Amino acid sequence: MSRADADPLLFRQLLSRFATGVTVLTTRDASGGPVGMTASSLAAVSLAPPLVSVCVDVSADMHRALSASGDFVINVLAHGQADLSRRFAQLPAEERFTGIGWRETPGGMVVLDGVLAHIECERYADFPLGDHTLFVGRVTGGANEAGEPLLYFRGEYGGFSRP
């Protein structure tokens, strides 16, 4: 057994066995434009107050935007939204919102069309950890829709199946 800290591939393989949902984080940049990034690092943190966390690479555009912004949205992707996940992971930042549906909440937050849920957060705390920052958000609102989730496992997209 090799050590994951000496073997980045092993580290990635170990983590890839943990199936996750897929989200797109959204916020606004300094000039008010929408910013988004695919993220699977969502975790529940606390019930009272209601806290969640996401971990963002320090080199990501989203890191700069989140560090400057007071609030953000976690858009939980539905089963048919793998293209949205790829878009928000791969396209240049300035092209990510071109040609897709999104809306603004009354509070000015950015919500993508067709998501399974959106979770509205105000930034509560952040912790630099290695090459990522753990952003903790206090959940201030959101909405759920009926549907099935998009899942990510061993580098592939899939769906939820009942045992």
Ligand X SMILES: Cc1cc2nc3c(=O)[nH]c(=O)nc-3n(C[C@H](O)[C@H](O)[C@H](O)COP(=O)(O)O)c2cc1C
Query: Applying CB under 6 A, which residues contact ligand X?
Result: 22, 37-41, 55-57, 60-62, 85, 89, 93, 152
Name which of 124 and 157 has its Cβ closer to ligand X.
Answer: 157
User: Could you please report the per-residue DSSP string of 95-113?
Assistant: GTTTTS-EEE-TTS-EEET
Name which of 53 and 120 has its Cβ closer to ligand X.
Answer: 53
For residue 70, the minimal CB distance to ligand X (Å) is 18
Name which of 72 and 152 has its Cβ closer to ligand X.
Answer: 152
CA dihedral (80, 84, 90, 91) in degrees, to 10, reads 140
What does the alpha-carbon distance between residue 55 and residue 58 come to, in Å, rounded to a whole number?
9
What does the alpha-carbon distance between residue 149 and residue 82 come to, in Å, rounded to a whole number?
10
For residue 3, the minimal CB distance to ligand X (Å) is 23
For residue 1, the minimal CB distance to ligand X (Å) is 26
Name which of 40 and 75 has its Cβ closer to ligand X.
Answer: 40
